[in-house]
Structure 1
Amino acid sequence: MAAVIPQLTEKAIEGMLNQEAKCPLVVQMVQYKKISDPHSNQTTRYRLHISDGRDSSGTCMLATQRNELIENGTLDNLAIIKVNHYISNQIQSKKFVVLVDLEVVAPGRTVGKVLGDPKNGSKMSMFFQGDPVKSTISQECEVSKNSSSLTASSTTKSDNNSTLTASSATKSHNSPITQGEQQKIIFPIISLSPYQSKWCIRARVTRKTDIRNWSNKRGDGKLFSVDLMDESGEIRATAFNQECDRFFSVLQPKQVYFIYLFICVQLCC
């Protein structure tokens, strides 16, 4: 008896990219691509090419906490998935989607083909094209104010006029933190790029190190690091010197913060 293939949700791709589609949605994961940096210890990410039978898009990422679906073989190429929760955003007119909660309703080995006649519509921009090692995946935050900085590498330079402001988040996702805070667009961590510097993330501190002293040919200083996590993934930020003094008592484990006005840079090899 042939397996019953679930029907795909009409116009799901367009709806997700425009933040208009309501869950649950049924789409096909045509194929995936592993994105990792051999020089980084950051979590592996997976880019997905998804289809609703009419349109397809490669501007989709799997939230890192769902990586096990691919790594244990549950989610394979051509699989039909039900999307229960997604995040969509836009950077410089390029739209992308992060799948946060999903389940496989028909494995690809059972489906065996691409359903319908999908195509890349004119609005389906390929945000994640290019060398995956040089993409937005293996990055850390760099923040500086005057001569101090926040970075994973002492050899990386930053804009002396950039600053980091961490504001404790309230229970309401849209509650104002400072004057004008409601106007700030919240970006998923997975979307952070070295090419943008004016955005805001809402993340939980999952780990915080002690203050450590450092010394190199450029001088002496001190630093501490925090791991930040949201629904889409995680990132590490390291505060140097003045920022170390300023934020060590502010950033506390298990607390949620709005963090904005900082620069995201790729890790040095």
Structure 2
Amino acid sequence: MPVNLTPNAIAAVIGGDLNLKPLVQVVDIKLIGTQERYRFMVSDGVSSQHTMISSQLNDRIKTNRVQIGSVVQLTEYICTVLQNRQVIVVLNMETIILNCDIIGNPKPYGAPNSDTPNALPNGSFQQSASNRMTSQNPIHNGQNIRPTFHSERPNVRPRLHPESSAHNAPNIRATVQPPYQPPPQYKNRGPIMKNEAPARIIPINALNPYQGRWAIKARVTAKGDPRRYNNAKGDGKVFSFDLLDSEGGEIRVTCFNAVLDRFYDIIEVGRVYLISKGSLKPAQKNFNHLKNDWEITLDASSTVDLCPDEDGSIPAQNFDFRPISEIENAESNSIVDVIGIVISVNPSVPIMRKNGMETQRRILNLKDWSGKSVELTLWGDVCNREGQKLEEMLASGFSPVLAVKAGKINDFSGKSVGTIHSTQLFINPEISDALTLRDWFDGGGKDTASVSISKDFVPGGTKNEIRKTVSQIKDEGLGRSDKPDWVTVKATISFIKTDSFCYTACPLMIGDRQCNKKVSRSGNRGWQCDRCNQEFEECDYRYLLQAQIQDHTGLTWATAFQETGEEILGCSAKELYLLKYEEQDDSRFGDIVRSSIFNRFLFKLKIKEEMYGDEQRVKITIVKADKENCSSESRYMLDMISKYSR
């Protein structure tokens, strides 16, 4: 069928017409740079022009929805100057015809041999270079004579002329506006004052590094804490915050050093700001999860002004939820938004990081209408804020809705979701997805079985647990590899050694951690720590508990340290030590120990082979001991039945 491209579209767009939405043809596609940027050459049938496309449109090229020869409609675009030439930046477009022969014989816009007439200042049009050279006999006395054009002048841009007619300029919609001449009163009076008019507010998705002055109006959806860094340029500090505008565009803003001091206290989550005069840089995808290829860095000239949120056109948060069933096939380390009903919450436990610092970890389990459940791991302060609140709500008999913004997918022993520094948790948010999920759960969803995508998930247990029996520890040779094995065993304690259940420990602090090294007597009343090289009057007491654990397949010895010993015996090591050796109340001491015997626990075990003298032995450490929860254990059994009956 015949294809009608928009006449003189290139001249109109370069001239500043942003409302034309022209039909043009893609005559060339090239991949440039390292940021996966595509450059088009688009044509209106007569003229062609270089065009950069927004990276959010890259998928259309990769999936062949736009090809060389495609006729597209430019729905959103701007025109800017790059390396002293005009470039059209396409923000959005629609494919009208996928495959089509090249229309016309387009020439680069503004080229001397272009068939597009060049406009003279008086509105008339002169011949093209090729026609003039032909008509004026370019060969004279055997020499090439370069034709002269009176319209050759720098920085002449075409402009749409609303009053042009077919009589004055047939088939031509562009005229050329002469260069600006200052009024007589400003001549020879020094430089003109810089334009300080407010920058035009544009959508976040329209931002690109080729723009000059710009401003965005957006809501702060997340704010990070200040962080210290050290690199080749020296020490410094940095913080960032995320913005969301009324059109759903998101971008991260970063502030360094003195700029951090200037803006950190001003920025508040949930408030709307007008921000301008920042620089755009490629987003660091390792740390930035937002769907934007750029991020803003503020500098000393940047402005951040609080705006009234009068019309409420900017949403409080932007979610892109994925069903739990889809997370099972998602790529590891990718960032997702997920929403679900909280069906179990584990206690918060201390975890020692590789750098020697201690942090908190808490495990939740979420389910949704997809028939699947997933493990969610909370890290850091969020364990004692939102995590504690969720635990209390679940203990009261109410299963809350939890929306997770920017969780990270892990694939160790099944798929799970973990929090990172930019993750946000929303308990019972007032959004349509949460209300729909609540109606489903209250309407019968709470009674439906769900299959965990976090392999061998144990409700009431810790992360990525693999169920084993006591006999399997020996039969499968666990702990004999280079790395320790982590398993969960449901068992009882059949015996506890009471002659040496604790040791005397150093109470001094090293940084934000207690020393805990074994100390010895110094004189009659003092204690000496060889590590800290200090003496003190009172020591601490920490569990070093040797216990025999047993299930239906056999028994084995395991060691429990401070926190786990308290979970098993229900009191501190110091209380038990004073009861036995100071008060010498053997009856109460015996009652406490006997009360822990033959209770059923879910033990999280670390199994690792270690060297004792000249002999290799497998050491089993109890890192977590939770009393069996009948409700959680029943859910686990139902999950296992569902998993093996598929």
- Local SS of the residue matching 2:13: helix
CA spacing shift, 1:200–1:83, aligned 2, 3 Å:
closer
2:46 aligned residue: 54
Relative to structure 1, the CA distance from residue 218 to residue 94 in structure 2 (aligned partners, 3 Å threshold; closer, same or farther) is closer
Equivalent residues of 1:23, 1:85 under 8 A apart: no
1:96 is aligned to 2:87: yes
Partner of 1:119: 107
Determine whether 1:199 maps to 2:191.
no
- Who is 1:225 aligned against? 240
Contact 1:189–1:229 (CA under 8 A) maintained in structure 2: no
Q: Deviations over 1:211-267 (max 9, x none)?
A: 211134654321023567899x9876532111112223445678563321x556789
TM-score normalised according to structure 1 size: 0.58
Say if 1:45 and 1:216 are closer, same or farther in 2 by CA, change over 3 A. closer
Q: 248, 251, 254: which is aligned to 2:264?
A: 248
Provide closer, same or farther for how the CA distance between residues 61 and 253 of structure 1 changes in structure 2, counting only shifts above 3 A: farther
Identity score, percent: 29
CA contact (8 A) 2:201 2:215 kept: yes
1:186 CA displacement: 7.0
Q: C-alpha root-mean-square deviation of aligned residues, in Å?
A: 3.7
Q: What amino acid does structure 2 have at the position aligned with 1:88?
A: C
Normalized per residue, the structure richer in helix is 2
Partner amino acid, structure 2, of 1:180: E
The residue that corresponds to 1:143 in the other structure is none
| 1:16 corresponds to | 13
Counterpart of 1:25, as a letter, is P
Contact 1:189 1:201 in 2 (8 A): no
SS of equivalent residue, structure 1 residue 67: helix
The partner residue of 1:190 within 196, 208, 219 is 208
Name the counterpart of 1:81: 72
Work out the CA distance in 1 between the residues paired with 2:269 and 2:61: 30
Partner of 2:5, secondary structure, is coil
Q: Is the 8 A contact 2:72 2:97 kept in 1?
A: yes
Distance across 1 between alignment mates of 2:29 and 2:85: 20
Q: Please give the residue correspondences for 1:17-36 in structure 2 after superposition, counting only pairs within 5 Å.
A: 17-20=14-17, 22-36=19-33
What CA distance in whole angstroms lies between the structure 1 residues aligned with 2:90 and 2:233?
43
How big is the shift at 1:90? 3.6
Segment drifting more, 76-85 vs 63-72: 63-72
Structure index of larger Rg = 2
1:212 aligns with 2:227: yes
Shift of 1:48: 1.1
Tell me the equivalent position of 2:275: 258
Tell me the secondary structure at the aligned position of residue 114 of structure 1: coil
- Distance in 2 between residues matched to 1:54 and 1:200, nearest whole Å: 33
Q: Quote the offset at 1:28 in angstroms.
A: 0.1
- Read off the aligned partner of 1:222 and give its amino acid letter: K
Q: Which runs of 5+ in 2 are unaligned?
A: 113-194, 284-646
Q: 1:5 offset after TM fit, Å?
A: 4.3
TM-score, normalised with respect to structure 2: 0.27
Alpha-carbon displacement from aligned partner over 1:85-143 (angstroms, at most 9, x marks no partner): 222234685322222231111113xx1x321110012279xxxxxxxxxxxxxxxxxxx
> In the alignment, is the contact (CA less than 8 A) between 2:82 and 2:210 conserved in 1?
no
| Structure 1: runs of 5 or more not aligned | 125-178
CA deviations 1:130-182 (Å, max 9, x no partner) are: xxxxxxxxxxxxxxxxxxxxxxxxxxxxxxxxxxxxxxxxxxxxxxxxx9343
Q: Is the 8 A contact 1:81 1:106 kept in 2?
A: yes
Q: Is the 8 A contact 1:229 1:235 kept in 2?
A: yes
Secondary structure of 2:16 counterpart: coil
Residue pair 2:209, 2:279 contacting (<8 A) in 1 also: no
Report the CA distance shift for 1:218/1:25 in structure 2 as closer, same or farther (over 3 A).
closer
| Bigger Cα displacement from structure 2, 90-99 vs 48-57 | 90-99
**Structure 2: distance between partners of 1:229 and 1:192:** 21
1:9-58 deviations in Å (ceiling 9; x for gaps): 10001111111264331100112222342xxxx5x322111000000011
Q: 1:236 to 1:80 in 2, by over 3 A?
A: same
3-state SS in 1 of match to 2:208:
helix
Work out whether residues 190 and 234 of structure 1, in 8 Å CA contact, stay in contact via their aligned partners in 2: no
1:70 CA drift (Å)? 1.2
- Given that 1:51 and 1:118 are in contact with CA atoms closer than 8 Å, whether structure 2 keeps it comes out as yes
